[in-house]
Amino acid sequence: MRTKWVVYLVLAAFITTFAAPAVAGDGDKIVRTKVADGLPVVSSLCKLLGCTVLLSLDTLPGSTAPSSLFLVRGLIDSVLTLTLSLLGLAAVEPDRPVHIAQDATWTSSQSSAAVLDQLWNRTLVTYYGTTAWEGYLQQPANDIVRLRDTHCGLRETGAGVVAVIDTGVDTDHPTLKPWLVDAYDFTRNVSGGNETADTSVKQSSAAVLDGVYAVNSSTLAVVDQSSAAVLDDPGQADFGHGTMVAGVVHLAAPTAKIMPLKSFGPDGQGYTSDILRALYYATQKGAKVLNMSFSRPTSSAELKRAIDNAVGKGLIAVASAGNDGSSSAAYPAAYGNVIGVASTSNADTRSSFSNYGTTDVWVAAPGEGIITTYPWGSFAAAWGTSFSAPYVSGEAALLVGMQNGASNSQVSSLVSHAKRLTYDLNYGRVDFYQAIQAGRSLWPYAPKYPVPDTCSTSAIDWSEIQ
């Protein structure tokens, strides 16, 4: 239960140890106290040992609610045993770096370029009250997962809030802007979550990006040869990743809301502490689906605890399985209550880069040449399990549109109604239509209003089905 601090004099003595909002860094520790109101405990610890309490990790930014989880700087490993046994700490773990899921397999072959040229239709069309490129709606992946059949035939377009824990989102992108809620930037400790703040390329010079057509080895959009140097900085290697992920969520579930939670920089690196803050934020702010297009090779007790907390409160957890082309466990996809998502090609085979095996993978979704939103109102194509996961997060939002109280286990079971492929992709490749039909056998169904003419023809404007 949330209460105000009751020992004001004690807090006043300790508050100088709580630093101004800071960003995570190498060597920091994630510290859990044994008591729910742990600030006095961890502050006492740092006064004794010379460390600094940077942030609470399990409360909303600016909140004065009691916390038991903190980010601490300057706590050296040699004293951890002493602090755990004598000073009221329940656990301490290093704040390890985490990376968004990258794919290093795409090359600009003539065949790849030819396929993209066919899809790269920039004609502006209306999509649920916003504008988008026609190629965004007419790509093969949409037909593979039966997206239009589900939207137009079964009349399901999604509901609830999908939290996208990533590099942020272009919050002014015309296709996404009306659907964004409660954005926050944990890398800077400010509201907004706008990833365009990470680059010196501004709207006035964004025209140089008109040649965007694919993604490189770090999932950043490749520009035409004359302007490629604009974003050729390794520190910008994953700029745009979050906007691309959010665009796939919106494509799959166009009437669901998206909560951009910026936990990674433009180089694709974040810290476990930023992800923990995003998870607790999403849980407390009313998100229903968690999209996690990132991974780390080892488990984290606090990451698992935060996900367990979210799932226990009704959230649905989805994560990319990783792009190492192996069956090695990657977290959080490898946790039992997370829907791990592998990548498939447009030929319904496992992508060569995709991780596989039942440890990581619950189901697969298209993840090659996915055309999606990109900063400055543009679009790009993307490869990787990072872009397979949001198809499944969108599918979860479609199921939430049928039953607002859908649980993680129910959605996981319904998502498993998929096209069987190979054993190393568990339940196979997702089929939105099958999942929705299975949902209607589970939950009472009220027929939707008639299908409009736009869905009965080949017209691309689906906006009238709202």
Q: Kindly report, residue by residue over 244-281, the tens digit of the pLDDT.
A: 999 999 999 999 999 999 999 888 888 999 999 999 99
Residue 1 maps to a domain: no
Q: Which residue has the tokens 């059949």?
A: 149
Same domain, yes or no: 392 and 343: yes
> Of 386, 388, 393, 412, which is the active-site residue?
386
Of 97, 458, 55, the C-alpha closest to 300 is 97
| Domain assignment present for 461 | no
pLDDT band at 191 (very low <50, low <70, confident <90, very high): very high
Beta bridge partners of 344: 350, 366
Q: Which of 151, 173, 241, 417 is catalytic?
A: 241
Looking at the domain assignment, is residue 254 inside a domain?
yes
Report the domain count for the chain: 2
Same domain (yes/no): 74, 146: no
- Rounded to an integer, the average pLDDT of 145-163 is 95
Q: Is residue 464 part of a domain?
A: no
What pLDDT shows up at residue 214? 30
For residues 253 and 399, state if they share a domain: yes
CA dihedral 396, 401, 406, 407 (to 10 degrees): 30
Tell me which amino acid residue 70 is: F
Q: Are residues 206 and 300 in the same domain?
A: yes
Of the candidates 95, 130, 146, which is a domain's last residue? 95
pTM greater than 0.85: yes
User: Are 85 and 187 contained in the same domain?
Assistant: no
- What residue numbers bound the domain in which 105 lies? 100-442
pLDDT at 232: 52
If you count them, how many residues does the chain have? 466
Respond yes or no: is residue 210 known to be catalytic: yes
Average pLDDT, the chain: 82
Examine the residue annotation and report whether 386 is marked as an active-site residue of this protein. Answer: yes
Whether residues 282 and 349 share a domain: the answer is: yes
CATH number of 438's domain: 3.40.50.200
Higher pLDDT, 301 or 444: 301
Looking at the fold, whether 383 and 253 belong to one and the same domain comes out as yes
Q: Which residues contact 282 (CB under 8 A, 6 or more apart)?
A: 163, 165, 259, 261, 290, 310, 315
12 is a domain residue:
yes
Catalytically annotated residue among 117, 143, 210, 232: 210
Tell me what percent of the residues of the chain surpass a pLDDT of 70: 77
Q: Give pLDDT, residue 140.
A: 93
With respect to residue 459, please indicate whether it lies within any of the assigned structural domains: no
pLDDT digits (tens, 9 = 90+) for 37-92: 999 999 998 998 889 999 999 999 989 999 999 999 998 765 665 566 667 888 89
Same domain, 289 and 272: yes
CATH of the domain at 74: 3.30.70
Same domain, 115 and 75: no
My answer on whether 127 and 65 are in the same domain is no
Side-chain half-sphere CA neighbours of 370 within 13 A: 36
69 and 116: one domain?
no
Question: At 22, is the pLDDT very low, low, confident or very high (cuts 50, 70, 90)?
Answer: low
Q: Name which of 347, 330, 332, 351 is nearest 104 in CA terms.
A: 351
The verdict on residue 2 lying in a domain is no
Tokens (6 digits) for 48: 């004794």
Looking up tokens 């939002």 gives 397
pLDDT of residue 218: 34
Token pair belonging to 84? 């755990």
Q: Is 363's pLDDT higher than 50? A: yes
CA distances from 48 to 42, 45, 55 (A): 10, 5, 18
Is residue 180 over pLDDT 70? Answer: yes
User: What is each CA distance from 15 to 2, 43, 50, 82, 220, in whole angstroms?
Assistant: 19, 8, 14, 23, 42
Q: Is 120 found in the same domain as 23?
A: no
Does 151 qualify as catalytic in the annotation? Answer: no
Q: Does residue 460 form part of some domain?
A: no
Residue 464 confidence class, pLDDT cut points 50, 70, 90: very low
Residue pointed to by tokens 């509901």:
159
What's residue 465's pLDDT?
Answer: 40
The confidence score (pLDDT) of residue 463 equals: 44
Last residue of a domain, one of 52, 71, 95: 95
Four-residue CA torsion sign, 101, 103, 108, 111: negative
